[in-house]
Structure 1
Amino acid sequence: MAQSDPAKHNRKAWDSLVSKGNRWTVPVTGEQIAAAKAGDWKIVLTPEKPVPDDWLKPVAGKKILCLAGGGGQQAPILAAAGAEVTTLDNSPSQLEQDRLVASREGLAIETVLGDMRDLSAFENESFDVIVNPCSNSFVPDVNPVWKECHRVLKPGGSLMVGFINPLTHIFDYEKMEAGDLEVRHKIPYSDYDLPEAERQALIDQDEPLWFGHSLEDQIGGQIEAGFVITGFYEDRWPELAALSDRINLLIATRALKVA
């Protein structure tokens, strides 16, 4: 099936996930903000492992873009730790979670509604750091994301991103949730390749449309855009324990813009 751009549907889907209390939409607590202001803080790019301290700290005074990172989680923590934070997200409701925490805690966070593939709202070399937690599965092609990230980062700036191990997408997702590992799909993966009835069911239920990118695009794409990979770790996906107990399903990388 020819692909239409999923951004409009995924905006609606993520707005719906906010109302359902998805784990990536639940704002941090006042206690977490108070701890961050006192210098005791962590953020995540993947479900469980925190970002290593030497990837990010200290952040005071740094200009940080939380890319497709709304939800009231990373941005408020970073702002409380002293960073100058901007969040760009495709979901108005996710951005509202950032604004909610900012208002509640007296934090300054700029929020921008937009697509992670198009950072034209920002000038070249605008940011010291980009934080991108597990969100590029919702765009059909990640390579424009890497190119735009490289453009808006200052020389020496860093890109920290979480993404899904493509192995995850070869299995039937519903059966995998139930503990049955049935190989069904190829990589790169696209929900657009599902039978029409399955794809329409996802749309009718306001579920996001997913895309499983190859490692060549996820890691090689960053290198091709001009980044040098300087950090790497893996993490579990607890909701998919049948597979994640055998192999880590999430990957995080740190990359530097060297020129």
Structure 2
Amino acid sequence: MDIAEYNRRAWDAQVAKGNRWTVPVTSEIIASARLGLWSVVLTPQKPVPTEWFPKMSGLDVLGLASAGGQQAPVFAAAGAKVTVIDNSARQLKQDQIVAERDGLQIESVLGDMRDLSDFQSESFDLVFNPCSVSFIPAVQKMFDEAYRVLRPGGLMMCGFVNPLRFIFDEDKLKTRNLAVRHRLPYADDTHLNANELNQLRADGEPFMFSHSLENLIGGPLRSGFILRDLFEDSEEADELSAFLPTYFAILAQKVGEQTQST
């Protein structure tokens, strides 16, 4: 099975279902962003620290697998020049809905987060990648490509699922009856039984994969990034979050002259 093609259809279906990550921001949020009052997330709840961001005016931003009408329109309203690449055409349409409604410019590109060949090297100042690498089976190529398209001193912000979350039975994560079930690294297509896979497909849910901390943190370092900061976050509806942070985000930088920060 072509995982990228399956997940493209699955995320298109998630838009139709009104998944929380596919619901566009309001005009009020865009109006505030134009006044310099804005925040975005890489993980479920905690806003990305303001000090992580350079001055947005004129900044070339690549939203990497981050369509959905949420972060990209905010960046555009704050003054950035925004391009978004995403595997889902319907997710990209959500960004354009906001752009058309509120008079914003956002370039949308349909494609795989691991293949940025549409973009020249050193084209962007910021790569912004909310939690999405759980939908690809390997991450190093993505980090390598992000490094290539960033200018020297450019920043990469990524959100990740804590791999520990994948050892538990997904159906029991919303209960206190947590059961350790899976050996890591996890993949839906190899760890679920036939009935569970059929149900996942019937529900239009995307296939997911775990990645080790070695690959999520070491991967950017192997690409050439330096790690500048990180934070942890939790998911309110996930009972596992009562025991430990189930998400985290990193700020990495391409070696070179540092981008001016606010």
Q: TM-score, normalised by structure 1?
A: 0.97
- 1:211-253 superposed Cα distances (whole Å, 9 cap, x missing partner): 011101100111111111101000011121x210110101000
CA RMSD of aligned residues (A): 0.9
Letter in 2 for 1:246: F
Aligned to 1:203: 201
Between 81-90 and 191-200, the greater mean CA deviation after superposition: 191-200
Matched, 1:62 2:67: no
Aligned to 1:232: 230
Please show how residues 30-41 of structure 1 align to structure 2 within 5 Å. Answer: 30-41=27-38
Matched, 1:179 2:176: yes
Gapped runs of 5+ residues in structure 1? Answer: none
Matched, 1:88 2:85: yes
Please show how residues 121-132 of structure 1 align to structure 2 within 5 Å. Answer: 121-132=118-129
Please show how residues 71-150 of structure 1 align to structure 2 within 5 Å. Answer: 71-150=68-147
* Matched length: 255
User: What is the CA–CA distance in structure 1 between the aligned matches of 2:161 and 2:109, rounded to whole Å?
Assistant: 25
User: What is the CA–CA distance in structure 2 between the aligned matches of 1:184 and 1:171, rounded to whole Å?
Assistant: 5
1:164 maps to which of 157, 161, 180: 161
- 1:176-222 superposed Cα distances (whole Å, 9 cap, x missing partner): 22331100011111001111221222112211000011101100111
Percent same amino acid among aligned pairs? 52
User: What is the CA–CA distance in structure 2 between the aligned matches of 1:167 and 1:131, rounded to whole Å?
Assistant: 24
User: What is the CA–CA distance in structure 1 between the aligned matches of 2:201 and 2:221, rounded to whole Å?
Assistant: 34
SS of residue matched to 1:99? helix
Matched, 1:10 2:15: no
Q: TM-score, normalised by structure 2?
A: 0.96
User: What is the CA–CA distance in structure 1 between the aligned matches of 2:205 and 2:42, rounded to whole Å?
Assistant: 21
Runs of 4+ with deviation above 4 angstroms: none
- 1:36-86 superposed Cα distances (whole Å, 9 cap, x missing partner): 000100011011111111111421110000000000000000000000000
User: What is the CA–CA distance in structure 2 between the aligned matches of 1:175 and 1:33, rounded to whole Å?
Assistant: 37
Letter in 2 for 1:115: D
Gapped runs of 5+ residues in structure 2? Answer: 257-262
Contact 1:9 1:203 in 2 (8 A): no
SS of residue matched to 1:10? helix
User: What is the CA–CA distance in structure 2 between the aligned matches of 1:165 and 1:5, rounded to whole Å?
Assistant: 25
